[in-house]
Amino acid sequence: MPEAVGIYRSIKLAVQLFGRPLESLTAHELRRVAHVSARQEEIEALILETPEAARVMLPAASIDVNLMAIRRRYADDGEYRAELARFGLDVPSLRQAVVRDLVVEAVLENVAARSVPISDTDVEIYWHLNQHRFRQGETRLLRHLLVTINEDLPGSGRQAARARIDAIRARLLSEPQRFAEQALKHSECPSALHGGLLGSVLRGHLYPQLDAAAFALPEGGLSEVIESELGYHLVRCDAIDNERRLNFADARQTIREHLESRQRACCQSEWIEALRRQACVRSPVAHRR
pLDDT in tens, the chain (289 residues): 568 889 999 998 988 888 888 888 899 999 999 999 999 999 999 999 999 999 999 999 999 999 998 888 888 899 999 989 988 899 999 999 999 999 999 999 999 999 999 999 999 999 999 988 887 778 999 999 999 988 877 777 889 999 999 999 999 999 999 999 999 999 999 899 899 999 999 888 888 999 999 999 999 999 999 998 889 999 999 999 887 788 899 899 999 999 999 999 999 999 999 999 998 887 655 444 4
Contact by Cβ (8 Å): 236, 143: yes
Query: According to CATH, where is 1.10.4030 located in the chain?
Result: 2-113
d(C-alpha 66, C-alpha 44), whole Å: 19
pLDDT at 281 (0 to 100): 82
CATH of domain 135-244: 3.10.50.40
Q: Between β-strands 135-136 and 231-241, what pairing exists: parallel, antiparallel or unpaired?
A: unpaired
Contact by Cβ (8 Å): 190, 153: no
pLDDT at 2 (0 to 100): 65
The candidate with the shortest Cα–Cα distance to 166, out of 150, 184, 186, 180, is: 186
Contact by Cβ (8 Å): 139, 200: yes
pLDDT at 31 (0 to 100): 94
pLDDT at 283 (0 to 100): 67
Instruction: Give the amino acid at 216.
Output: A
pLDDT at 196 (0 to 100): 93
Query: According to CATH, where is 3.10.50.40 located in the chain?
Result: 135-244
CATH number assigned to the domain with residue range 2-113, chosen from the 4 options 1.10.3470, 1.25.40, 3.40.50, 1.10.4030:
1.10.4030
Contact by Cβ (8 Å): 182, 242: no
pLDDT at 246 (0 to 100): 83
